[in-house]
Amino acid sequence: MTAKRLRAIALLAISIVFLLAWAFPIIWSVLNSLKTDSDVLAYPPKLVFSPTLEAYRDVLFGSGSILPNLLSSAIISVGTTIVTMLMAVPAAYALARLRFHGKKFAGFYLLATQMLPPVGIIIPYFLVLRNIGWIDTYQGIILIYLSFSLPFAIWLLVSYFEDIPFEMEEAAYLDGASRLKTLWRIIIPQVRGGIAVTVVFVFLNAWNEFLFAVVLSGNTVRPVTVAMFNFVSVEQTLWAKLAAVSVLAMLPVVVLGVVAQKHIVKGLTVGAVKGGGRR
């Protein structure tokens, strides 16, 4: 029996080490955001300290406030989500439900677009957007975000559309409702849950994107992931403020991630070519 006990204890220890390893960097950032700079720099690292909200007050309302950057991130993410959904919902419905020539090719094309490295998209787009004066604009960033958000949203929505029964739309259609009306009135309400999950993920990906943002942002449009760098310079690092900005940048996505917890695996693996069935 002791061998069994030892094994159980070992497994428990391993579990705790891993949970800590994943959670700790995040918890540590939160703790550091509640410290003064001298407390952040203390050696050995301080777990017990008198918390202060000073860093948050400074980064939100002091000079060089990151409120405009949080707003930038929000506008980009909401904008990308709206445009993506308006295009992806009809396309996903057609792919999941209708019969037309070239359906296979459309699916293949959707997968193939994801092979192109983002850096290969941004190099030519930088030249194009520079010529039309769309660097440092919301429309420039949102347009290029469609390159990754559209294929993702379409795949995810297709998987939800495929789950709803045919009878409803057929009945409505035979009753003489137009196709568009059927789609809007009958079908979309049935995939409301799937649409909500897709919205969460599209928002999340847009909020987190960095490469396109760093190339296309300027003084007007500067999302928080890019603005973070204001707090780390060669001369000095504003430790507590940097921690506070990191926490503010993490907050929305962590909340969304936990809310969409049940759907996260589906959201992460969507568009992946399904491994063959059981053999």
Partner 1 sequence: MTTSAVTSADIARETPRSDFGRILAQRERRFAAALLAPAFLALLATTTFPLLFLVYTSAFRMDLAMPFTNGFVGFENYQVLLSDERFWTSLLVSLVYTGSTVALQVIIGLALALLVMDMKRGQGWFRVIAILPVVLSPAVVGMIWRTFMLAPEFGIVDFLAINAGLGSKNWLGDPTLAMVSVIAIHTWQWTPFAFMVLLASLASLPEDIYEAARLDRASAWQRFRRITLPLLRPAIVMVIIMRTMVALTAFAAIFTVTGGGPGTATEILNLYAYRKSFTELSIGYGAALAVALLIVTIIISGILFALRRAK
Among 4, 5, 44, 234, binds partner 1 (CB under 8 A): 44
For 156, the token pair is 């995810």
54: nearest Cα among 44, 40, 68, 42:
40
Smallest separation, CB 29 to partner 1 (Å): 5
Query: 185 to 224, contacts with partner 1 by CB under 8 A?
Result: 204, 207-211, 214-215
**146 is a contact residue toward partner 1 (CB under 8 A):** yes
Site string for partner 1, 243-262 (x = CB under 8 A): x--x--xx--xx-xxx--x-
**Residue 3 within binding range of partner 1, rule CB under 8 A:** no
**CA 250 – CA 204 distance, rounded (Å):** 10
Q: Alpha-carbon distance 60 to 76, whole Å? A: 19
Residue 112 backbone dihedrals phi, psi, to 5 degrees: -65, -35
CA distances from 226 to 69, 144, 190, 213, 279 (A): 9, 17, 39, 7, 48
Q: Say whether residue 114 binds partner 1 (CB under 8 A).
A: yes
> Angle at the Cα of 137 (from 218 to 69), degrees rounded to 5?
55
Should residue 4 be labelled a site residue for partner 1 when binding is judged by CB under 8 A?
Answer: no
272 touches partner 1 (CB under 8 A): yes
**Per-residue tokens: 78:** 């909401």
User: 178 or 220, CB closer to partner 1?
Assistant: 178
Give the footprint of partner 1 on residues 46-85 (CB under 8 A).
Answer: none
79 near 142, Cβ under 8 Å? Answer: yes
- Compare residues 60 and 168 and give the one whose CB is closer to partner 1: 168
What residues between 9 and 28 interact with partner 1 by CB under 8 A?
A: 11, 14-15, 18-19, 21-26, 28
Does residue 234 interact with partner 1 by CB under 8 A?
no
Q: Which is nearer to partner 1, 1 or 115 (CB)?
A: 115
Q: Kindly state the number of chain residues that form the binding site for partner 1, as judged by CB under 8 A.
A: 103
Asked if 274 touches partner 1 (CB under 8 A), the answer is: yes
CA angle 260, 266, 271 (to 5 degrees): 130
Q: How far is the CB of 105 from partner 1 (least distance, A)?
A: 11
Q: Is 159 in the site for partner 1 (CB under 8 A)?
A: no
* All residues at 6 or more sequence positions from 255 whose CB lies less than 8 Å from its CB, including other chains: none
Burial code of 37-49, b = ≥16 C-beta within 10 A, e = fewer? bebbeeeeeeeee
Residue with smaller CB distance to partner 1, 46 or 60: 46
155 binds partner 1, rule: CB under 8 A: no
